[in-house]
Amino acid sequence: MAKKTYIGDADSLAALVKKMYLGVGTESGGIINVGVARKVKKLYIGDPNGVAKLVFQSEKDPGSVSISPTSIILNGSTLSKIITVSRLGSGAITAKSSNTSVATVSVSSTRVTVKSVDYTSGTATITITVAEDDDYKQVSVTCPITADFSIEYYGTTSEDIGYRHYTAAASIGDYALFGGGSTGDSIRDDVYAYNSSLTRSTATEMGQPKFQHAASSNGVYALFGGGSYDFGVSRTSSTVYAYDKSLTMTRTSSNLIGSGYDLLAAAAFGDYVLFGGGSRFSSSSTGYRSNIDIYDKTLTKRVASLSVARDNLAAASNSSYVLFGGGDNGNLVDTVEAYDTSLTRTIPTALSSSRYGLSAARAGDYIMFYGGGDYVDMYNKSLTRSFISQKAYHGSAGVTYNNHAVFAGGTTLSSKPTSYSSVISFDSSLTMMTLANLASSAGYLGAAIAGEFLLFGGGGKGLQTSGANSGTVSVYTMS
């Protein structure tokens, strides 16, 4: 096979032929009409045996590719972007991301779709390649990506939720629900719902007033369970109320085990909502709870148990485990218990310090325990623990928002408690950011998500300090 062809006359050196054009003409009445010359890609000549052999192959032209846009910024309002590719020829288009933890790519014809990954901030470079074809060489172009997901203060809702301390909150559909709580003088049974436009409506009230209760959502129901219905001893509640996406309320047929408990923790894990721990005081005894009541999407209940009974604990989950950590049972507790998808219990490394009144949320794959002391403990999907030193107060609200763990407010525990308005967040790489403060300082407040908005509402300073409790709802959004 001839790889190169040279042509020369008697008086010159032969020159390498890189391109060859042939034109086909016609003759009519002695007049020759010259046709359009076309590029010869390959030229074959037959040998005496009739076998055609390649004697010339044209050199390919340099490829050319252009893209629009030439750079991309991903943020809360732009989670994905399409790059339009223009090229010479018909070479196949492929694309690759240099950092798939920040941005991924897919190709359809001449369109490259770039998508953010779990609201992760960072940078990536997308390399778009057009393969060679019969006429053009392979060519590539790059597009820089900047992903910047930051949480910003948006304002307050036009209507608040009224004074309520030790409220509970959960999300269902596009609604953020705040239910129950203490005014200091009375206990509430009403439930306010904020939609994705931040318009407030009133859902069906719970069948029993509650404070110091817990709430979470499995995507079908937002469940409010446990708590106290009066300020006296032995006034704990075992009822669980479920709200669906239309805000229809159902009382579950199966109550929490026993006569009810307050100061318990709740977390969603796959199809389940789990209520764990808590306590019930009477005039003669103090009972700390080790039960875990588990409700699925049909509100069918099953049970498990903690290895250490306690109240004032916290719970959160990732895709592998739900963790219960910290608490108080007359002594401060540092135990952390992990349950996998089959609800098999594992005891990972304890918290860096024993504490109670803490909160928990997920940042990326990490479950974080915040508050009640001077450390933030973080557990990954392998249950490996790390921690940082960070002063945090009792009774902060913890919530997972767009793959970030956000913690807000808190209070000191003393005869003259002080509440705080600080808000911090951790992204999936555990980078900590200090956000704008809450509109009103508060501890033991609630947190829930309505559409694109994160809401913090209620809370106060002291357990029964009349007039010191907050009804303000502070709103944050991701930019």
Note the pLDDT tens digit of each residue in 374-395. 999 999 999 999 999 988 889 9
Range with top average pLDDT, 155-164, 284-293, 411-420: 155-164
Q: At CA 294, angle to CA 376 and CA 395, rounded to 5? A: 30
Q: Any long-range contacts for 303-307 (C-beta under 8 Å, 24+ apart)?
A: 303/257, 304/274, 304/339, 304/343, 304/345, 306/276, 306/277, 306/337, 307/335, 307/337, 307/345, 307/347
Cβ proximity of 301 and 242 under 8 Å: no
| Of residues 394, 307, 364, 469, the one with CA closest to residue 102 | 364
Cβ proximity of 303 and 293 under 8 Å: yes
The percentage of the chain sitting over the pLDDT mark of 90, rounded to a whole number, equals 73
Q: What is the pLDDT of residue 464?
A: 44
Q: What is the pLDDT of residue 259?
A: 77
Q: What is the pLDDT of residue 258?
A: 78
Q: What is the pLDDT of residue 468?
A: 57
pLDDT, averaged across the chain:
90
Task: Report whether pLDDT(1) > 90.
Answer: no
- Distance (Å, rounded) from C-alpha 427 to C-alpha 375? 17
Q: What is the pLDDT of residue 192?
A: 97
Cβ proximity of 142 and 103 under 8 Å: no
Task: Report whether pLDDT(39) > 80.
Answer: no
Task: Report whether pLDDT(284) > 80.
Answer: no
Q: What is the pLDDT of residue 3?
A: 54
Task: Report whether pLDDT(332) > 50.
Answer: yes
Distance of CA 105 to the CA centre of its chain: 19
The two most distant CA atoms of the chain are separated, in Å, by: 125
Task: Report whether pLDDT(202) > 90.
Answer: yes
pLDDT, tens digit, 9 for 90 and up, residues 215-269: 999 999 999 999 999 887 668 899 999 999 999 999 998 898 877 889 999 999 9
pLDDT, tens digit, 9 for 90 and up, residues 18-30: 666 666 666 666 6
Q: What is the pLDDT of residue 46?
A: 75
Task: Report whether pLDDT(157) > 80.
Answer: yes
pLDDT, tens digit, 9 for 90 and up, residues 333-361: 999 999 999 999 999 999 999 999 999 99
Q: What is the pLDDT of residue 14?
A: 60
Q: What is the pLDDT of residue 368?
A: 98
The percentage of the chain sitting over the pLDDT mark of 70, rounded to a whole number, equals 87
Do you find a cis peptide bond into 348, omega within 30 degrees of 0? no
pLDDT, tens digit, 9 for 90 and up, residues 88-113: 999 999 999 999 999 999 999 999 99
SS (H, E, C) the chain: CCCCCEECCCCCCCEECCCCEECCCEEECCEEECCCCEECCEEEEECCCCCEEEEEECCCECCCEEEECCCEEEECCECEEEEEEEECCCCCEEEEECCCCCEEEEEECCEEEEEECCCCCEEEEEEEEECCCCCECCEEEEEEEEECCCEEEEEECCCCCCCCECCEEEEECCEEEEEEEECCCCEEEEEEEECCCCCEEEECCCCCCCECCEEEECCCCEEEECCECCCCCCCECCCEEEECCCCCEEECCCCCCCCCCECCEEEEECCEEEEECCEEECCCCEEECCEEEEECCCCCEEEEECCCCCECCEEEECCCCEEEECCECCCECCCEEEECCCCCEECCCCCCCCCCCCEEEEECCEEEEECCEEEEEEECCCCCEEEEEEEECECCEEEEECCEEEEECCECCCCCCCECCCEEEECCCCCEEEECCCCCCCECCEEEEECCEEEEECCECCCCCCCCCCCCEEEEEEC
pLDDT, tens digit, 9 for 90 and up, residues 446-479: 999 999 999 999 998 654 444 456 789 999 999 8
Cβ proximity of 450 and 134 under 8 Å: no
Q: What is the pLDDT of residue 34?
A: 61
